[in-house]
Amino acid sequence: MSHQPLAAVCLILAACLSAAAAGQGQLDASESVFTVMAAINAAGYDADIDSPSNNPLRLAIRRELAARKIPCLDELKAFFAEHRQKSPSREYSQYLSFALSTSEPPMFEFRAVMNEVAPDAAALEGLGPLLTRFHREADIATLWKKSQPAIDQVIERYHAPVTLAVRDVNAYLRATGSFSRRRFQIYVDLLGAPNQINIRSYASEYYVVVTPSAEPQVNDIRHAYLHFMIDPLSIRYSEDIDKKKSLIDFAAGAPALDEAYKQDFLLLTSECLIKAVESRLAPAGAGTVTVDQALKEGYILTPYFAEQLPLYEKQETAMRIYLPEMINAIDLRKETRRLDGVTFAAERAVRKAKHAPEAPKAAQSPAEKTIEEAEQVYGKKDYEKAKPLFARALRETDDRTLQARGYFGLARIAVLQNDPELGDKLFRKTLELTPDPFTKSWSLVYLGRLAEIAKETEEALQHYRAALEVQGAAPGARQAAEKALGDYRQKK
Per-residue pLDDT of 66-79, as tens digits, reads 999 999 999 999 99
Residues 445 and 393 in one domain: yes
Residue pair 441/467 in contact by the 8 Å Cβ criterion: yes
Confidence of residue 256 (pLDDT cuts 50, 70, 90): very high
pLDDT of residue 482: 87
Residues 376 and 485 in one domain: yes
Residue pair 464/448 in contact by the 8 Å Cβ criterion: yes
Instruction: Tell whether the model's pLDDT for residue 192 goes beyond 90.
Output: yes
Rounded mean pLDDT, 373-379? 87
Residues 376 and 482 in one domain: yes
Domain containing 391: what range? 6-20+366-491
Rounded mean pLDDT, 452-470? 91
Instruction: Tell whether the model's pLDDT for residue 429 goes beyond 60.
Output: yes
Q: Is residue 242 part of a domain?
A: yes
Q: Is residue 124 part of a domain?
A: yes
Confidence of residue 2 (pLDDT cuts 50, 70, 90): very low
Instruction: Mark which of 101, 121, 146 sits at the end of a domain.
Output: 146
Residues 294 and 374 in one domain: no
Helix (H, G, I), strand (E, B) or coil at 187: strand
pLDDT of residue 113: 85
Q: Specify which residues 198 forms β-bridges with.
A: 209
Q: Is residue 107 part of a domain?
A: yes
pLDDT of residue 392: 94
CATH code of 463's domain: 1.25.40.10
Residues 373 and 455 in one domain: yes
Q: Is residue 210 part of a domain?
A: no
Whether the model clears a pTM of 0.85, i.e. scores above it, the answer is no
Residues 374 and 459 in one domain: yes
Q: Is residue 298 part of a domain?
A: yes
Cα–Cα distance, 224 to 211 (Å, whole number): 15
Confidence of residue 7 (pLDDT cuts 50, 70, 90): very low
pLDDT of residue 178: 54
pLDDT of residue 389: 94
Q: Please count the structural domains in the chain.
A: 3
Per-residue pLDDT of 361-373, as tens digits, reads 456 789 889 998 9
Roughly how many angstroms between the first and final C-alpha of the chain, as a whole number? Answer: 24
- Between 296 and 347, the more confident residue is 296
Instruction: Tell whether the model's pLDDT for residue 376 goes beyond 50.
Output: yes
Instruction: Mark which of 92, 123, 146 sits at the end of a domain.
Output: 146
Residues 319 and 375 in one domain: no
Residues 440 and 387 in one domain: yes
Residues 16 and 57 in one domain: no
pLDDT of residue 353: 45
pLDDT of residue 360: 44
Dihedral sign of CA atoms 348, 349, 355, 358 in order: negative
Per-residue pLDDT of 90-133, as tens digits, reads 999 999 999 999 999 999 999 988 888 989 999 999 999 999 99
pLDDT above 90 coverage of the chain, percent = 73
Instruction: Mark which of 300, 324, 340 sits at the end of a domain.
Output: 340
Per-residue pLDDT of 302-355, as tens digits, reads 999 999 999 999 999 999 999 999 999 999 999 999 999 899 998 876 554 444
Q: Are strands 25-28 and 183-188 parallel, antiparallel or unpaired?
A: parallel
pLDDT of residue 357: 42
Q: Is residue 472 part of a domain?
A: yes
Per-residue pLDDT of 10-48, as tens digits, reads 444 444 444 333 334 489 999 999 999 999 999 999 999
pLDDT of residue 22: 39
Cα–Cα distance, 491 to 111 (Å, whole number): 55
Whole-number average pLDDT of the chain: 88
